[in-house]
Structure 1
Amino acid sequence: METVTKGKKMLLGGKWLGREETITVYDPQDNTVITTVPKASKADMLRAIQAAEEGAKTAANMPVHERISVIQKAADYIARKSERYAEIIAREGSKTITEARKEVSRCITTLRVSAEEARRMNGETIAFDQMPGHENRVGYYYHFPVGIIAAITPFNDPLNLVAHKVGPAIASGNAIIVKPATLTPLSALLLAEAFDAAGLPSKILSVVTGSGSEIGDVLVMHPSIRMVSFTGGLETGERIARIAGLKKLSMELGSNSPVIVLKDADIDAAVSSCITGAFGAVGQNCLGVQRIFIEKEQFDSFVEKFVEQANQFKVGDKKDVTTDMGPLITEKEAIRVEEWVAEALEGEATLLAGGKRNRAFYSPTVLTDVPADAKIAKEEIFGPVVILFPVETLDEAIEKANHVNYGLQAGIFTKDIDLAFTAIKRLEVGGIMINDSSDYRIDAMPFGGVKGSGMGREGVRSTMQEMTEPKVVNFNLK
């Protein structure tokens, strides 16, 4: 696996720059140093914004075929160097090398879909003559870019979630400034490298590394920023909404996703899907399965099979292709997960599997009898912990699934289409997966939630809609 020792530079206004003050990037598996990145200052961020003001004009005037070409060349660049990208994802984050390779593949897809959608960013004609007295008017609307996008990205998908902001921004004619997660900045810098190599005009894209407390507010509050695209925690999202001012906001703020398993379900399929949904990427996944509601007729069978598979999960070296799960992003996060589980156990929850921590590693953990007021039942655990609840009916499952301040995605396993549509209509979520766990997504679909899970939608086409505004054109023909 690639070892990086020389300090990396950030892309600021078309130039790769270093700084004397740096941030050290560690491998969470053993806390070894990978490299350093510049610790940008407020002045650096202001410089990036000033450059983006020019870049936005360039981006808006780029012909669509040029946008398509640049994005496709960036995707080609990543495809040629895919193993290098995967190794960096695995080293700086929590993913195993197998999971990292999948993320690289998804990133390439995200960029290629962005290029395809650039050619389909069309408007519509408007029937002005629908109103009496307007028979001589014809017209249409088209989409124009908002200008400069501020993108703040998380650690858990450090390449593809950045691509989900950068690809659509360029495809729709915007400039974009990325502030990547401090813990995992290298993947975002590699994405910038791909666009630089692809010939993206300078100043359209900047990736500025640094402390969110020092440069984040500068980016979010600046009047030249016309949209903030944020993926992260609810508390930070609420703060951004308070300070951003009059600009567009798109936020994906996580969840504690529910899955419902009815008595007619294929239990083996449900268990298999929920296991990977709960413990993939160490549970550090906004779509991760956290609460499973099982009809009592199937509860014992489901629990037995689920616990058996959870105990078979191999936790260990991220570089090993046979490893199922690596460490959490930091030991501090593993300790937090441990504390949340301990609180539930003190409230008379039952531990069926896992519950063990070794530095940043935390074993796949299964709980039952968790009190409804326990933190782990109400909040996003963002770790490899799942709660199993027996329920009498679908109505009870839906009521309990909705009884939290989140609503990103949900899953339901059933062979009854009427029951499936009951869940579709009544579950308070942005997406519902039938005979799949909540942890299902393709990069082209609209993606987002309700309540504390955020606002707006990602997914390439949806993101491009968010990053543009419609302009109406009317001709009064004499």
Structure 2
Amino acid sequence: MTWQVLNPYDQECIGSVDLVEWPLIDRWLDEARALHEDRRAWIPVHERIAILQRAGALMRERAETLAMQIAREGGKPLVDARAETSRAIQSVELCVHELFASGGRQIPMDLTEAGAGRRAYTFREPIGPVVAISAFNHPLNLIAHQVGPAVATGCPVLVKPAKDTPLSCKSFVEILYEAGLDEHWCRFVPCTNDVAEQMVTDPRTAFFSFIGSARVGWMLRSRLAPGTRVALEHGGAAPVIVDEGVSHENVIPSLLKGGFYHSGQVCVSVQRVFVPRAELPDFAAELAAGAEALRVGDPTEEETQCGPLIRPAEVDRVEAWVAAAVENGARLAAGGKRIGPTLYHPTVLVDPPRDAKVSREEVFGPVVCVYGYDSIDAAIAQANELPYSFQAAVFTERLQIADRCVERLSGSTVLVNDHTAFRVDWMPFAGRRHSGLGTGGVGYTMADMSPEKMVITKR
């Protein structure tokens, strides 16, 4: 069996990968467990550093090829695909940096009489075989975030890419091999969903890293073998509060980037914007004008700002959600139409019903909803009413409003005067509630994959 990889823009086949069946995965899991249990087989830290350094250098040499591959298989505009490639290289380099900075710590023992006469310290050990399942929207950098830390910490890793975007994952794994990593330590595992579930829930899996939908992530977590550790990264419906009197010139460009980057196919994409009711007509008109001006088309062209959705079925879904919102009272300020089978125009909806899907569920498409509010507290309450909690934002020139939003907005991160889709790869990145479990970011993932062991000596 094979996966045919289609260019999401023109639906032309650009490649294929052979699927891996369970008997081979079963053997690979046995190999991974054996590698972890045989300490003589562990790759010395200095060799892991050298492998990652060589991998980063190879990625730099092939940066334009990798970026074009991201654009062709994932539909991300080339300018953004180049930025993703640069971030993936930095993610690999961050793994090396974290290894230089990592280590154990001393634990004071004589804080009470019971501990007197003892010394204690910790050091880190690899947790064991890692199974990673990734998403389509950042097909190179997400893989770097999941596989790079496993290699760095000395964990054997099996990685299943998204069905739509396996080529970038395959390229990354092959670069690791070329850089000197023995293939037994990292396996490229495109497979069907039922085989993936068998791999994830196998008791030989020590750590499960998942990036994708909440429905799938929480289902798999419920079926993990006892003892398997897990990190889940899902999505949300990111809220942004705009305070009264803030210059729209400082807000609109940021929201256009945060809402329509990769056509909204980002887990922290700007989706719900709350604006003082008196300012709503002008604000919505300015945001709509910016959305209408965005260039939509072939992601491999330099001028393109918004590319296709990953599959035609996603265009159908977004079209249906927008149509339902308009039918039930939302005002369509921009967009609201498909451009052929694979593109959907950047869309701005004004005051859609609070029970509409565009208001309550993650759109994962080029749709930004704008709501009028009568008080900051009412805006915060509406922003917090969904079961998601990831990144939120506020635009304000008043310190007290910034402080109030930071304290009261539900989110693992609250950005002040910036959009919700901002991220750098060394910062903690975490969904709360339905939005995920655990903390992403290269250093945080490495810590999860290398738990501390403590030594206590009695004098």
TM-score, normalised via structure 2 length = 0.97
User: Among 284, 301, 304, which residue is 2:265 paired with?
Assistant: 284
Using the TM superposition, give the Cα deviation of residue 245 of structure 1 relative to its aligned residue in structure 2, in angstroms: 2.4
Using the TM superposition, give the Cα deviation of residue 207 of structure 1 relative to its aligned residue in structure 2, in angstroms: 1.1
> Is contact 1:291–1:387 with CA below 8 Å preserved after alignment?
yes
Q: Residue 265 in 1 paired to residue 246 in 2?
A: yes
User: Match of 1:245?
Assistant: 225
User: Match of 1:210?
Assistant: 191
User: Match of 2:305?
Assistant: 324
User: Among 83, 94, 119, which residue is 1:113 paired with?
Assistant: 94
Using the TM superposition, give the Cα deviation of residue 94 of structure 1 relative to its aligned residue in structure 2, in angstroms: 1.6
User: Helix, strand or coil for the counterpart of 1:225?
Assistant: coil
The residue type equivalent to 2:354 in the other structure is A
Q: Deviations over 1:135-187 (max 9, x none)?
A: 21011112211101110000100000010011111112211110000110000
Q: Residue 444 in 1 paired to residue 426 in 2?
A: yes
User: Helix, strand or coil for the counterpart of 2:184?
Assistant: coil
Q: Deviations over 1:324-374 (max 9, x none)?
A: 111100101110111111111121111111011120100001101211111
User: Among 18, 22, 37, which residue is 1:38 paired with?
Assistant: 18
Using the TM superposition, give the Cα deviation of residue 62 of structure 1 relative to its aligned residue in structure 2, in angstroms: 2.3
User: Match of 2:375?
Assistant: 393
User: Match of 1:12?
Assistant: none
User: Match of 1:27?
Assistant: 7
Q: Residue 375 in 1 paired to residue 357 in 2?
A: yes
Q: Which runs of 5+ in 1 are unaligned?
A: 1-20
User: Match of 2:210?
Assistant: 230
- Aligned equivalents of 1:156, 1:133: Cα separation in 2: 53
The residue type equivalent to 1:403 in the other structure is E
> Is contact 1:448–1:457 with CA below 8 Å preserved after alignment?
yes
Using the TM superposition, give the Cα deviation of residue 134 of structure 1 relative to its aligned residue in structure 2, in angstroms: 2.7
Q: Deviations over 1:297-332 (max 9, x none)?
A: 432332121111000001111121011111100101
Provide the aligned length of Structure 1 versus Structure 2: 456
Using the TM superposition, give the Cα deviation of residue 58 of structure 1 relative to its aligned residue in structure 2, in angstroms: 6.5
Task: Report sequence identity in percent.
Answer: 36
- Aligned equivalents of 2:272, 2:246: Cα separation in 1: 17
- Aligned equivalents of 1:105, 1:58: Cα separation in 2: 34
The residue type equivalent to 2:22 in the other structure is K
Q: Residue 405 in 1 paired to residue 374 in 2?
A: no
User: Helix, strand or coil for the counterpart of 1:140?
Assistant: strand
User: Match of 1:474?
Assistant: 456
> Is contact 1:256–1:291 with CA below 8 Å preserved after alignment?
yes
- Aligned equivalents of 2:35, 2:250: Cα separation in 1: 49
Using the TM superposition, give the Cα deviation of residue 420 of structure 1 relative to its aligned residue in structure 2, in angstroms: 1.0
Using the TM superposition, give the Cα deviation of residue 59 of structure 1 relative to its aligned residue in structure 2, in angstroms: 9.6
**Matched ranges for 1:20-419 at <5 A:** 21-56=1-36, 57=38, 61-213=42-194, 215-246=195-226, 247-357=228-338, 358-419=340-401
> Is contact 1:263–1:296 with CA below 8 Å preserved after alignment?
no
- Aligned equivalents of 1:330, 1:134: Cα separation in 2: 61
User: Helix, strand or coil for the counterpart of 1:342?
Assistant: helix
- Aligned equivalents of 1:447, 1:102: Cα separation in 2: 18
- Aligned equivalents of 2:337, 2:330: Cα separation in 1: 16
- Aligned equivalents of 1:300, 1:49: Cα separation in 2: 58
The residue type equivalent to 1:307 in the other structure is A
- Aligned equivalents of 1:376, 1:274: Cα separation in 2: 17
> Is contact 1:366–1:388 with CA below 8 Å preserved after alignment?
yes
- Aligned equivalents of 1:321, 1:58: Cα separation in 2: 50
Aligned alpha-carbon RMSD (Å): 1.3
> Is contact 1:292–1:387 with CA below 8 Å preserved after alignment?
yes
- Aligned equivalents of 1:383, 1:242: Cα separation in 2: 28
- Aligned equivalents of 1:170, 1:438: Cα separation in 2: 30
The residue type equivalent to 1:280 in the other structure is Y
Using the TM superposition, give the Cα deviation of residue 64 of structure 1 relative to its aligned residue in structure 2, in angstroms: 2.0
- Aligned equivalents of 1:54, 1:119: Cα separation in 2: 27
> Is contact 2:351–2:372 with CA below 8 Å preserved after alignment?
no
> Is contact 1:169–1:467 with CA below 8 Å preserved after alignment?
yes
Using the TM superposition, give the Cα deviation of residue 429 of structure 1 relative to its aligned residue in structure 2, in angstroms: 0.7
- Aligned equivalents of 2:56, 2:39: Cα separation in 1: 21
The residue type equivalent to 2:57 in the other structure is D
TM-score, normalised via structure 1 length = 0.93
- Aligned equivalents of 1:427, 1:438: Cα separation in 2: 13
> Is contact 1:262–1:298 with CA below 8 Å preserved after alignment?
no
Q: Which runs of 5+ in 2 are unaligned?
A: none
Q: 324-333 vs 55-64, which deviates more? A: 55-64
User: Helix, strand or coil for the counterpart of 1:278?
Assistant: helix
> Is contact 2:35–2:42 with CA below 8 Å preserved after alignment?
no
- Aligned equivalents of 2:385, 2:398: Cα separation in 1: 24
The residue type equivalent to 2:321 in the other structure is W
- Aligned equivalents of 1:76, 1:416: Cα separation in 2: 45
Using the TM superposition, give the Cα deviation of residue 296 of structure 1 relative to its aligned residue in structure 2, in angstroms: 2.6
- Aligned equivalents of 1:123, 1:428: Cα separation in 2: 33
Moved over 3 A (4+): 54-60
- Aligned equivalents of 2:400, 2:421: Cα separation in 1: 23
Classify 1:457/1:391 alpha carbon distance in 2 versus 1 (closer, same or farther; 3 Å).
same
